[in-house]
Every structure is written in structure tokens, then in C-alpha cells.
């Protein structure tokens, strides 16, 4: 049976590495053409520049998850919710919005497991 630390470790790697990979891909567009997912009417400047800023934010968020999973998990959770809301507002890629909301729940779960683990170490 998996322990809290094993589950936390799996989620920590997932929510640490995936944002780093996705963020780095904002500069290369190897996985997908990220600008296609962007509701361009909501941003006041060039979509390519915006996606690079997004990439940096995602890389930093992933690093924070790996170093400080409690804080990082909440950051990634909020980021995923914002992405989902942007997709919903655009009326496109609703399947991706749902996926991002589910991933946000996973990030929340990482935060909760991290809190439980921290409290158990204090006892």
C-alpha cells in the first residue's frame, strides 16, 4: 500500500516537471502551438510574447513545487484554474479546460498531502 509520502512524491514530480516541460515548450512549440489555445481578445499585447511570459511563469511554478511543494501546489492549482477560465471565456477547447480543472484538483491534493506529512513530522 502506498504511503502518504509516496503519493506526495508522485504528485510532486508530476506537478513539478509537467509545468517545467510545458513552460519550456512555450519557447519551442514542439508539443503544440500554444497560441491556438489563447483567447487573444483578453490580452493587450502580442500573443507570442504573452506565451513566453506564460512559459517563464510555468517554469518558475514547477521549480517552486519541487522545492516547496505546499506553496508550489497552490500556485499551480491557481494557475490551472486561471487557464481553464480563460479557455471557458473563449468558448473553445472546453475539453482542455475540464482537464485543467481536474489537474487543479490534483495540485490541491498535493498541497493537502504535504500538509498532512508536515503535521505528522511535528508530532
Please tell me the distance from the alpha carbon of residue 42 to that of residue 115, in angstroms, as a whole number.
Answer: 36
pLDDT digits (tens, 9 = 90+) for 2-53: 788 999 999 999 999 999 999 999 999 999 999 888 877 778 889 999 999 9
pLDDT digits (tens, 9 = 90+) for 49-74: 999 999 999 999 999 999 999 999 99
Residues 6 or more apart whose CB falls under 8 angstroms from that of 20 comprise: 58, 59, 62, 63
Mean pLDDT confidence for 77-85: 96
Torsion-angle region of residue 120: left (phi > 0), alpha (psi -120 to 50) or beta? alpha
List the alpha helices (DSSP H) in the chain: 4-25, 47-67, 69-90, 94-122
pLDDT for the residue numbered 31: 93
Torsion-angle region of residue 33: left (phi > 0), alpha (psi -120 to 50) or beta? beta
Amino acid at each position: 500500500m502506498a504511503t502518504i509520502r509516496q503519493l506526495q512524491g508522485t504528485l510532486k514530480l508530476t506537478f513539478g516537471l509537467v509545468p517545467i516541460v510545458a513552460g519550456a515548450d512555450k519557447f519551442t512549440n514542439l508539443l503544440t502551438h500554444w497560441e491556438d489555445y489563447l483567447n487573444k481578445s483578453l490580452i493587450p499585447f502580442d500573443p507570442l510574447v504573452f506565451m513566453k511570459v506564460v512559459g517563464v511563469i510555468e517554469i518558475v511554478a514547477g521549480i517552486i513545487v519541487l522545492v516547496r511543494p505546499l506553496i508550489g501546489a497552490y500556485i499551480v492549482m491557481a494557475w490551472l484554474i486561471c487557464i481553464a477560465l480563460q479557455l471557458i471565456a473563449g468558448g473553445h477547447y472546453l475539453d482542455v479546460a475540464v482537464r485543467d480543472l481536474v489537474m487543479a484538483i490534483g495540485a490541491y491534493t498535493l498541497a493537502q498531502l504535504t500538509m498532512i506529512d508536515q503535521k505528522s513530522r511535528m508530532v
